[in-house]
Each structure stands twice: as C-alpha cells, then as structure tokens.
Amino acid sequence: MGSTPLQFFVARHFISPEVYHINMSKDEVEGRGKKIKGQIREEVGKLTDNKTEQLKGKIEQVEGQVKEKIGKIKRKG
C-alpha cells in the first residue's frame, strides 16, 4: 500500500531520521510531535494568509523544541 501525498509531504519535510531513534523518551516524542504540529500550523497559516495561525505555529514549534530538549536531558542525565 502506498503513501498518500500528504503522508509523503509530512515525512519528507518534517520528520528527521532522529525520530526513529528507539531510545527516545516520552518527552522527546511529545516534543517532536508538537514541533511537527506547529510546522503544519504555520504552513497552513501561510497558505491561508492568516498571521495569527502562523504565529501560533511558531510558538508551538518552540514549545516542542523545549520539551524535546528536556526529554534528551532526562534521558542522558
């Protein structure tokens, strides 16, 4: 069964190989998910010319980055 165009787009543009790291903590996974969600939200805001959605997407990305880094620290610490 093949990928849909949206699945291909998301995998190609938003998911890095690091996502497949088996030892990722719960915080890392949740943070990565939030970053991806924020990237999609920002892109939708750009497509619809909605500055509020773009900003909310950027904020979500930062929140996701923070949570992901906290997870890495916990896992390595």
- Boundaries of every domain in the chain: 25-76
**Cβ atoms 70, 32 nearer than 8 A:** no
Q: What is the pLDDT of residue 25?
A: 86
C-alpha angle with apex 69: 45 to 15, nearest 5 degrees? 50
Q: Give me the torsion for CA of 22, 26, 30, 35, rounded to 10°.
A: -50
Nearest to 37 by CA among 12, 16, 62: 62
Q: What is the pLDDT of residue 54?
A: 97
pLDDT averaged over 10-residue windows placed end to end, the chain, 77 residues: 60 57 81 95 95 97 96 89
